[in-house]
Amino acid sequence: MSTPSYERIFVTLLREIAAEQGYNFTSFSQDWILQFEKAGQVRRTFGFNFEINSATAYMLAGDKAAVAAVLQHQNIAHIEHRFFLNPSRSAYIPEGGHWPAILAYAQQQNYNLVAKPNEGTGGLGVVRVKNQAQLEKAVLSIFQKGQSLSLSPYYDIQNEYRLLMLDSECQLAYAKQRPQVIGDGASSLRTLIDRQLLAGAITQAQAVEALEQHQPQLDQVLPAGETLTIGWKHNLGAGSAPQLLQPGPLLDQLQALALAAQQAINIRFASIDIVEVDGGPCVLEVNSGIMMEHFVRHQPQNRATAKAIYARALEKMFASR
């Protein structure tokens, strides 16, 4: 039976694995909960989370500021995430509120910040802040939709990497290549961005963001063959492309840092995002939900890679307990 066109790649791959490896497969809640049965044992996935990690590790990974605090305590290089609670939770915030502390932190960073939902994923709601008006707008927007926010210093990050770790072994490592335009010696940057949008290489939202980011340069003609990165977010869902990392010193360094972060929060199955800043590689985030939808769509061969990783995770689920 063919699978619906709207079905997540995650669900499709796990259906196939279950059929191939003899698991009884049941779906609940519009495929958000998947159940597998074999030899009297039952295991489940929830969202993109496997029944491998402890509840504490799952909750830690979903809290950016909590991960940063644990990594700070362990002296593991990381990007700071400063936590602030929604004012609606007044019983849990200081009498003077959070705004004085938010302003003090922003001033400390010269208003060069990134504001994001503390428990968000996929780059959703992540905003670059450059002044107090933008800070107020970002804080209000995030608090309207969620219970907490994180503020981080803004870094001009040239490289971001994702490493998928399963029981201390790296299953997949790739760099996130941000969207780019290539000059032809005749077209303005504005025109090049418009062409990327019309070709479907970037979304409307990504085009708007690129136009805002490069406002002073939009009428300049990019020299023939010159490449310009047009986005500041590295998320695959924001237009970046995965570039597999090859064995070598860089991969060794990144794996060591990812393993340290994994062990610090006692999480068995996670994706670790690492960024390169002036001080060297730092952990940006830890994610317990292993989503490879965009990774699979990017290259045909990536489907087999993702399926093999999910198959190993499913096997680990039944091997535990």
User: What range defines the domain where residue 84 resides?
Assistant: 80-154
The pLDDT, as a whole number, for residue 158 is 80
The pLDDT, as a whole number, for residue 99 is 87
Q: In the numeric block, which tokens belong to residue 178? A: 């941000």
Q: Is residue 26 part of a domain?
A: no
Name the range with the highest mean pLDDT among 62-66, 94-98, 126-130.
62-66
Same domain for 242 and 168? yes
Whether the pLDDT of residue 119 is over 50: the answer is yes
CATH of the domain at 265: 3.30.470.20
Same domain for 170 and 308? yes
Q: Is residue 44 part of a domain?
A: no
Same domain for 91 and 192? no
74 pLDDT tier (thresholds 50, 70, 90): very high
Same domain for 257 and 208? no
209-219 pLDDT tens trace: 777 777 777 88
* Count of structural domains within the chain: 3
Q: Is residue 219 part of a domain?
A: yes
Same domain for 166 and 68? yes
Same domain for 58 and 127? no
pTM: 0.85
Same domain for 279 and 136? no
Same domain for 253 and 164? yes
Q: Is residue 87 part of a domain?
A: yes
